[in-house]
Chains A and B, each alone.
Chain A
Amino acid sequence: MKLNNLIGAAAAAVALSAGASAAATLDDVKAKGFLSCGVATGVAGFEFTDANGEWAGFDVAVCRAVAAAVFGDPKAVKFTPTTAKTRFTALASGEIDMLSRVTTWTFSRDVDLKFEFAGVNYYDGQGFLVPSALGVTSAKELDGATVCIQTGTTTELNLADYFRVNGMSYEPVPVETNAEAQQKYLAGACDVYTTDSSALAASRSTFETPKDHIILPEIISKEPLGPVVRHGDSEWGDVVRWSLNVLMIAEELGVTKDNVAEMAKGTDNPEINRMLGSEGEYGAMLGLPADFAVHVISAEGNYGEIFAKYLGTDTAVGLERGLNALWTQGGLQYSPPFR
């Protein structure tokens, strides 16, 4: 994904020296009455605006879940569209309370830029899209290909690494945006388009004949995407982390948007009871109401429901769960227990 370490590092340095990173974000959020959530300006399936001008999408759902946890109202969010270049400064300066914007969890962002990733809501990886007419079935056969690649992103570096390791050469065709890449690729300006495989699937679904294009089986990088908060305010980080975890635990335990109200009255399963607030004082430990998880799940459903709504095989994006299935179903999504 896009990386702009220099700007981010400078921003973080200024933030530290100015002491702008405020503690007690939760209190600030409660005081102003809404959550400021940074999203991308538009990534298919992850963040977009619908016909009514409302933000929606897989990342947006995380913002809404956190707002529901704090206020009981998934609409109490002010969305700030951020670009790859402005996202980290917006967060570091306190303009937004959290960032939920297809941002890859990397060492330097976590450590050097002084941010904290509150979990992973989507495990992505870089893939290759080729026309089936090219007759290629593996990325290892791409020697000498022209490749459409977004400039200034980690995908560019991953690509260079991959071709070097495999002793192949390629000719890059630099593009600025996904839209430009689609145009260039369809016009035949490049043989291959490479970016995160979720974006490739979304792009392919918009083509007139999606069947004429294949995504190669090789995934050449790890791109764990997740919500980000500032260093130094663990209480707020916990609120975001456990709002996300609740979504996954809910799927694991079969709590859905439809049955959450019923289950909140008490069930035979103690973990559900603890989570939904009918047993114990877990909400209060976070500084939230006892039934915060009920609101989180009622907002847009559990993790599986959100996935199916925005990214799943029934949507135009059409992604399989794959790595994002629960650990019980062979995926990587694994939340610590609610105890």
Chain B
Amino acid sequence: MSDLHSNTVAFVAGSQIPPSPPPAKDRGAVKWLRENMFSSVANGILTVIAALVIITAVPAILQWAFIDAVWSAGSLSECREIAAANGVEGAFACWAVINERFNQFLFGFYPNELLWRPVLAFVLMFVAMAPVLFRSLPKPMLWFSAAYPFLAYFLIWGGLGLEPVESSKIGGFLLALIIGVTGIVASLPFGVLLALGRKSDLFFIKTICVVFIEFIRGVPLITLLFVASSVLNYFFPPGTALDLILRVVIMATLFSSAYMAEVIRGGLAALPQGQYEAADSLGLDYWKSMRLIILPQALKISIPGIVNTFIGLFKDTTLVSVIGLLDPVGMITPIRADSNWNGLVWEFYVFVALFFFAFCFCMSRYSMYLEKKLKTDNH
């Protein structure tokens, strides 16, 4: 400070005033509430209604699912006795049934002493998926990914020295994963080929692809499943028909391939014509231009649609319960028919729903990660 001001200014601040906090209504929880919950009268009313719903529902659900729940018992009546002894009034969850039938929900009737095989196949599935999902991993791991489908088949069904397990023993989430994962993995390449075929200049290929896609898309999945379970049998002599699970996997793959083809065709159509011309002008042949220029961009655009189809297919696997396959949803019926557990409903469906949610949520998170990673534009 110089002397210059000493006579001209009555007071000079010796130090900076500490910044005062923003007004109460513009900070902390109050600000957040004002901005997010009560930004207008209509929003305020909605917030109050939502809060009331949550306040009434959540404690009741927690009470049902955790506080009053019975975790181990031999039957529903035992559950009720335990709950009554604990002084529980009204509804409560009897998780004991999930506890007792956990293996049936996971593996169907897979022999107990061989359970390590599907578990190992499940763990190896992540090893096989890793190099495909995350590019940073070493390339040679892809060889393992390519071999994985055969390895998984060998582990689950046995043969070549491993004790064979027949398909009727396979059920539960194991079955849902077999159908879902195979359909997902196989439908992408098929979908790409069909999409390219549909845009092809070759009349014959184009016609086949269009007819296939339009036929499969025009038919409900459940119809295809009935065809797989019933009609196909008539074309084979009794006893030699393909395994029912295999037939269903083929149908599910065909179904999702057709949808996948249309999703990818959308991506191809979204690319500017200039990209195609640029590839041609570089002198690349058809396959090279597709592989190096067109598809990487088209697939990137299609990611949300592709993952959408994946999730849809995975959830559609529950439809196989209609043809008598015991997927997690189908498994509920024979377990309920056991007089020990007849009368329970919600516990089964909540458990199955949680499982499907976990898988579908992971898929959707991965797709968001991928979109972010592949984002090359400047927006």
Contact = CB atoms under 8 A, between A and B. Distances in A.
Contacts of A45: 337, 339
B324 interface: yes
A89 interface: yes
A44 interface: yes
Nearest to A22: B238
Contact of A82 (B324, B332, B339): B324
B102 to A, nearest CB: 11
A80 B76 contact: no
B357 to A, nearest CB: 21
Contact of A83 (B103, B322, B338): B322
Contacts of B104: 49, 53
A42 B238 contact: no
Secondary structure at the B interface, as helix, strand, loop or mixed, is helix
A94 B334 contact: no
Interface residues of A, number: 50
A79 interface: yes
Contact of A53 (B77, B108, B166, B337): B108
Contacts of B337: 42-49, 57
A11 B334 contact: no
A42 B336 contact: yes
A41 B231 CA distance: 20
A47 B326 CA distance: 14
Contacts of A203: 342
Contact of A78 (B80, B168, B230, B336): B168
Given A41-B333, A81-B324, A95 B238 contact: yes
A42 B101 CA distance: 15
Contact of B342 (A89, A93, A316): A316
B234 A93 contact: yes
Given A18-B234, A206-B76, A94 B239 contact: yes
A208 interface: yes
Interface string B51-80: 000000000000000000000000011001
A317 interface: yes
A132 to B, nearest CB: 19
Nearest to B330: A41
A183 interface: yes
A271 to B, nearest CB: 35
A40 B230 CA distance: 16
A124 to B, nearest CB: 16
B223 to A, nearest CB: 12
Contact of B340 (A47, A177, A316): A316
Contacts of A7: 230
Interface in A6-35: 7, 11, 14-15, 18, 20, 22, 28, 32
A285 interface: no
Contact of B234 (A20, A51, A202, A317): A20
Interface string B323-353: 1111000101111111110110100000000
A11 B103 CA distance: 36
A14 B239 contact: no
Contacts of B109: 49, 53-54
A334 to B, nearest CB: 28
Nearest to A50: B338
Contacts of B322: 83, 85
Contacts of A206: 76, 339, 342-343
A207 interface: yes
B343 A28 contact: no
29 contacts: A11-B230, A18-B235, A20-B237, A20-B238, A28-B238, A28-B239, A41-B321, A42-B335, A42-B336, A42-B337, A44-B336, A46-B337, A49-B338, A53-B103, A78-B168, A80-B168, A81-B334, A82-B324, A83-B323, A89-B231, A94-B233, A94-B238, A95-B241, A179-B332, A179-B345, A182-B345, A203-B342, A316-B77, A317-B339
